[in-house]
Amino acid sequence: GIQVEQSPPDLILQEGANSTLRCNFSDSVNNLQWFHQNPWGQLINLFYIPSGTKQNGRLSATTVATERYSLLYISSSQTTDSGVYFCAVEGYNNNDMRFGAGTRLTVKP
Amino acid sequence: DADVTQTPRNRITKTGKRIMLECSQTKGHDRMYWYRQDPGLGLRLIYYSFDVKDINKGEISDGYSVSRQAQAKFSLSLESAIPNQTALYFCATSETGPMGSMGYTFGSGTRLTVV
């Protein structure tokens, strides 16, 4: 199956800083999504982004499908951005979403 | 009410016991999934179903079974629980889009401990 690698595994920021999270995948994908898991364990869908760029407030994401990576940008980070960010992909020949191991983000006040 | 509801929220069970985790949704989505989450490993897919008559194994289906009782209900069973099945279990739903699954929505999770 498709391999999904996320980097960095851990990231610590001061409030107000910007960050970039990366997701690399091993094969062509039909679908790519970014999720945030808050410290209470709740998983929220951030972006559905198989290609191109999207923005939602302080968050934006870019997927370059031909080069098999996606980036999640967080600007002016806040303590509420803390948690784990997951990238998940769905291949053309698979019908299931494969998750990366996540990037654990800690934003300090 | 939550769009995707999992019951129970927490469960402690003994080795060898049969246990069922239940999931119901009000999203009207056709696709439903069961994942488990272990520390540092992200989420791994156990089973998924694209409609009531469709059941598919995921990455780690051994030791688990599922039942899609209706479009809105998808249950996960551990026939004989073992300690390494201790994990956080998530149910998720999605709808079929032009580029695969869209609108992924997760339940709040069930924390299962097998002693």
| Each residue's pLDDT tens digit, A12-51 | 999 999 999 999 999 988 889 999 999 999 999 999 999 9
Helices and strands: H and E segment counts in chain B = 0, 11
Bridge partners of A5, per DSSP, are A24
Q: Which amino acid belongs to residue A37?
A: Q
Instruction: Give the least confident one: A6-20, B29-43, B80-94.
Output: B29-43
- Bigger pLDDT: A51 vs B98: A51
Position B31 scores a pLDDT of 93
Of A1, A95, A99, the CB nearest to B56: A95
A66: closest CA of chain B, how far (Å): 16
Position B104 scores a pLDDT of 87
Q: What percent of chain B has pLDDT over 90?
A: 84
d(CA A91, CA A79): 34
Bridge partners of A87, per DSSP, are A34
User: Mean pLDDT score of chain B, rounded to an integer?
Assistant: 93
Task: Say whether pLDDT at B4 is over 70.
Answer: yes
| Interchain contact, A95 vs B44, CB within 8 Å | no
Angle (nearest 5°) at CA B18 between B12 and B19: 50
d(CA A14, CA A108): 5
Looking at residue B32, the DSSP 8-state letter turns out to be E
A76: closest CA of chain B, how far (Å): 26
Of B33, B42, B59, the CB nearest to A86: B42
Position A94 scores a pLDDT of 65
d(CA A73, CA A76): 10
**Which pair of structure tokens corresponds to residue B90?**
């998530």
User: Mean pLDDT score of chain A, rounded to an integer?
Assistant: 94
- Among A57, A55, A59, A56, CA closest to A85: A59
Scored b (16 or more CB within 10 A) or e, B46-67 reads bbbbbeeeebeebeebeebebe
B43: closest CA of chain A, how far (Å): 6
